[in-house]
Structure 1
Amino acid sequence: MRGRLPGTVLGLLLSGALVACTTAVPGVPVSQGRVVKETPDGVDPKAVVENTDGGDTDRLAATIVEDLRVYWGATFPEVFDKEFTDLKGGYYSVDTADADAPEPPCTDAAPEVEGNAFYCPTADVIAWDRAALLPVLEDRFGEAGVMLVLAHEMGHAVQNRTGAGLDERRADPEKWPTILVEAMADCYAGAFIRWVVDGRAEHLEFRPDQLDAALAAMISFRDPIGTEATDRGAHGDAFDRVSAFLDGYESGARLCSEMTVDNRTFTLSGFIDASDAARGGNIEFDQIVESITTLLDPYFAEVAGSGWRKPEVRETEARPACTAEPQGPVAFCPDGGAIEVDVARELPGIHAEIGDYATGTLVAGRYALASLAAAGEPVAGPDAQKAAVCLTGSFTASLFDREQRFLSPGDMDEAVRVLLDYDYVARDVDGASLRSGFERVTLFRKGFVSGAQEC
């Protein structure tokens, strides 16, 4: 983040035939267990997957593939007015731990696939590493992580059947930049997972409380900070990827199919200058509160109207205790209208763990509560909790509307991460909050996209 003071990948291999979409950056593991229904007769991987060892990893993949086939068999005609044709090259499992493994499709050797899954349009095949990718995803994110990856790759297969495939991208790269193609695949994955959540899948089930795991997997696939949206291998930052997923989840596959460079805005951006790159897009903790509050006060003065009074920002050496129940490391104190900030313990730790805009997001959430109080709105209860998160999103969007650039690469990643990992932005003055990280991220995105008037 910049402000007045100096203020994250998904691996991509794009060789014209191979798009690898699953090398993840480090993140916080979120395991949410099984998505495969307990049934007497499971899916036999040998009937679905080429080169399988018949083990549990490929059994999970085969089960997901079976329901993906059914979903697209029904959805494809509704959206594209023609029948879905299954992949000619099928579904291929690669044992990258075996030096003598057969040569996978579209590659020269099994080690080239290590840590990846991909759709290869020239062979019309989806392949994955069963040794060093799918088990890792399952361990970190539960079976939801594997489902998300395979649904994304099937999204690329759908594109190849609907005018957004490799030939079209080569012919008109400005119309089909990689970041748009990847957003569409994320969107298709969201549409499929909603279908499973709605109980329509034969083999899979997905509870709403497992959606946090899906988002955790999604943000672990973000681009490295500093990647430009125009880069040939750009997939998007955490907010871009989550936004695309949510579009599919909320609105379905038709919306995904209608994405274009004209109706899609991406927040992924490169570093502002050499000094920004040297700092990794972050400013020091002792600068962030002053920097962010100079932006928060005028924004929320406009949102709240005539009742707004600039809050006094008070630093504390421990978690703020100005309300009976804790709000977290930053608190809005309705008696006096101050904002108390822990500058010694938890908040500096979050800043170091996630980044400067994690701190900015938490402070913004308390200014959002202050604006509700100034406008005569409730500051406790579910409506206040939702409004605090939504208004934090609308404030963040305002930083993109200024002539001077205030956000640095990675800031949107940090906002999504802190919303998913911590419930503090959604806490009301009684310390109650929204338990679902998925809901918090969804509300933040609502405010970001639609503005404060929709909060």
Structure 2
Amino acid sequence: MRIRVAAVVVVVLGVLALSGCAATVEGRAFAGPQVSAGVDPVFVRDTDGSEDDRLAAAVLRDLEGWWATQYPPLAGGQRFVPPRGYFSVDSSRPGAAPPCTQSTDEVEGNAFYCPRADVIAYDRAALIPVLREEFGDSAVVVVLAHEFGHAIQQRLQDTSTTSASLGSGAPTILSEGQADCYAGGFLRAVHDGDLADLRTGDTGLDAAMSALITFRDPVGTDATDDRAHGNAFDRVSSFQAGYDSGVGTCAGMTLQNRSFTQQAFATLSDAQNGGNLPLPDLLRAMGTDLDRYFGGVVRAQGGTWTTPTVGDGDGCEQGPVGFCGADGIRADDRVLGRIHDTVGDYASGTLLASRYALAALAALDRPTTGRGAGRTALCLAGAYTSDVGSGTDFSLSPGDLDEAVNLLRRGDDAARGTDGAVADTTAYARIADFRQGVDGGADRCLALR
């Protein structure tokens, strides 16, 4: 965060290579369950028949079958034609390079769709096994489904009878967001058990989403960059749009109905400190802004707002920060400091905002206990996030929304009521509730049940 005017931004990774997508897998997230035992990869070029190739083959076969039903309504009734080929590449040794490359090492750690040859290639040596180890099998599903989404875009672009095409001049971030959206629609089918080969539960869904969060653009990447995929918030938002609403929503994405929060650093000093304030400075500046926002929410609802005191304490069994009724808001400075230092300043800021939200619920004589209260508090933290610094010189920095998303994928402290009850037991649900507040504001949050 920064004490100076600026716009909302985020971070994440995702680097384009060739005409596809590449990313360095970092950190450990959720251990996803097995998605499939796999199928015979005989239709994949240069396969070694390994378990990794069998899993990739299962994903590709189910993608073909699923898109055979999903594509015609988007393309004016035209039949879906699968890509011309799939290539399994061992980037660790010389060999035959797949189309659109000169050597196997160009594919290292990558999967891509090449529109010129209409093929999908993936690295079975430094991508598939790493995804499986770090996130679980469902990460392989989301990565290949994303690349398959680019094949769908190419087909729609070549189809003159449909308005679902992005067009050749679409910015990269919109194209990548739509591919994330298509991947979300496919993961819904996997989760719901609608496919022949693939199955996954809530843990696998969180793992797939966690991989997308990790594959984000570096903090401060401009949304107009021709390699931009979006920050964590953008990528998850696109994925959840497809998961919740289906591929028709994805096909209809435009810059008019789909906004992106990714933004470059506004100042050199912000870039140098990564957009992070020291914790004491954050608490001082954010406390004033939280008081402004939640006081306004309470008064707009006809209530009386009293600024809660903030002090050191154990969080009243709500986690590192808690709203403790008449005792105000209490924070375990050591735990909060670790979150601040390891995840980022707006991770600790999101926790603080969710506890101010509980104080606002109390001021409105609404329940602060139970699972619904925690859900509303998290949503209100999102509503505050979209309003940070309105009329003041306190604002979000590039990376802040990513820090909030990473906090929510790691734990449920921001989704707890004052009794510690948690409604959102999955990272998917927590991020979805936070997004409701960001997109819809306090009125939508106060209507939640």
* Band the TM-score falls in, shorter-chain normalisation: over 0.9
Q: Given the alignment of the two structures, is residue 313 of structure 1 paired with residue 310 of structure 2, yes or no?
A: yes
Match of 2:413 in 1: 424
Q: TM-score, normalised by structure 1?
A: 0.91
| Residues 22 and 149, structure 1, Cα contact 8 Å, conserved in 2 | no
Q: Displacement of 1:362 after TM fit?
A: 0.6
* Aligned match for 1:360, one of 343, 349, 353: 349
Instruction: Give the match for residue 110 of structure 1.
Output: 104
Kept in 2, the 8 Å contact 1:91–1:127? The answer is yes
Question: Partner residue of 1:13?
Answer: 16
Question: Is the CA contact 1:22–1:117 (under 8 Å) kept in the aligned structure 2?
Answer: yes
The equivalent position to 1:184 in structure 2, one of 178, 182, 188, is: 178
Q: CA deviation at 1:11?
A: 3.9
**1:81-92 equivalent positions in 2, closer than 5 A:** 81=76, 82-88=78-84, 90-92=85-87
5 Å-filtered alignment, 1:11-50, equals 11-13=14-16, 18-24=18-24, 26-36=26-36, 43-46=39-42, 48-50=43-45
Inter-partner Cα distance in structure 2 for 1:101 and 1:25: 24
CA contact (8 A) 1:141 1:217 kept: yes
The residue aligned with 2:325 is 334
Residue 149 (structure 1) aligned with residue 143 (structure 2): yes
CA distance in 2, matches of 1:132, 1:310: 53
Aligned equivalent of 1:370, options 333, 336, 359: 359
Report if aligned partners of 1:10, 1:22 keep a CA contact under 8 Å in 2.
no
- Alpha-carbon contact 2:370-2:417 (below 8 Å) kept: yes
1:27-426 map, 5 Å: 27-36=27-36, 43-46=39-42, 48-81=43-76, 82-88=78-84, 90-98=85-93, 100-163=94-157, 173=169, 176-305=170-299, 306-316=303-313, 319-320=314-315, 323=316, 326-336=317-327, 338-343=328-333, 345-399=334-388, 404=393, 406-426=395-415
| 1:447 pairs with one of 434, 437, 442 | 437
Unpaired segments of 5 or more residues in structure 1?
A: none
Moved over 2 A (4+): 3-14, 24-29, 78-81, 168-173, 399-405
Task: For residues 170-198 of structure 1, give each alpha carbon's deviation from its aligned partner in whole angstroms, at most 9, with x where no partner exists.
Answer: 9853xx10000000000000001111212
C-alpha distance in structure 1 between counterparts of 2:420 and 2:216, whole Å = 32
Counterpart of 1:140 in structure 2: which amino acid?
Answer: E
CA shift at 1:288, angstroms? 1.2
Is 2:136–2:204's contact at 8 Å kept on the other side of the alignment?
A: no
TM-score (norm 2): 0.92
Q: Give the superposition deviation at 1:294.
A: 1.4
Superposed CA offset, 1:39-59 (max 9, x none): xxx52111x211111111110
Equivalent residue of 2:121, what SS? strand
2:166–2:254 Cα contact (<8 Å) kept:
no
Report the secondary structure of 1:13's partner residue: strand
Report deviation, 1:202. Answer: 0.7
> In 2, distance between residues paired with 1:28 and 1:154?
25
SS of 1:307 mapped into structure 2: coil
Shift of 1:10: 3.4
CA contact (8 A) 1:327 1:429 kept: yes
What value does the CA root-mean-square deviation take over the aligned residues?
2.1
* Contact 1:390-1:445 within 8 A present in 2 as well: yes
Q: Does the 8 A contact of 1:215 with 1:242 survive in 2?
A: yes
Once residues 234 and 262 of structure 1 are traced to their aligned partners in structure 2, the CA distance between those partners, rounded to angstroms, is: 18
Indicate how the Cα distance of structure 1 residues 93 and 389 shifts in structure 2: closer, same or farther if over 3 A, else same.
Answer: same
State which drifts further: 2-11 or 200-209.
2-11
Does structure 1 retain, via aligned residues, the 8 Å contact 2:5–2:393?
Answer: no
Partners of 2:165 and 2:366 in 1: CA distance:
50
Aligned-partner SS, 1:161 = helix
Gaps of 5+ in 2: none
Q: Which amino acid aligns with 2:80?
A: F
Deviates more, 1:179-188 or 1:73-82: 73-82
Q: What's the CA shift for 1:32?
A: 1.5
SS of structure 2 residue aligned to 1:21: strand
| Count of residues paired in the alignment | 433
Deviation for aligned residue 1:300 = 0.7
Distance 1:401 1:150, change over 3 A: farther
SS in structure 1 of the partner of residue 112 of structure 2: strand
Distance 1:331 1:236, change over 3 A: same
Q: Which moved more, 1:354-363 or 1:395-404?
A: 395-404
Give the C-alpha shift of residue 438 in structure 1.
Answer: 1.2
- Give the letter for the 2:269 counterpart: S
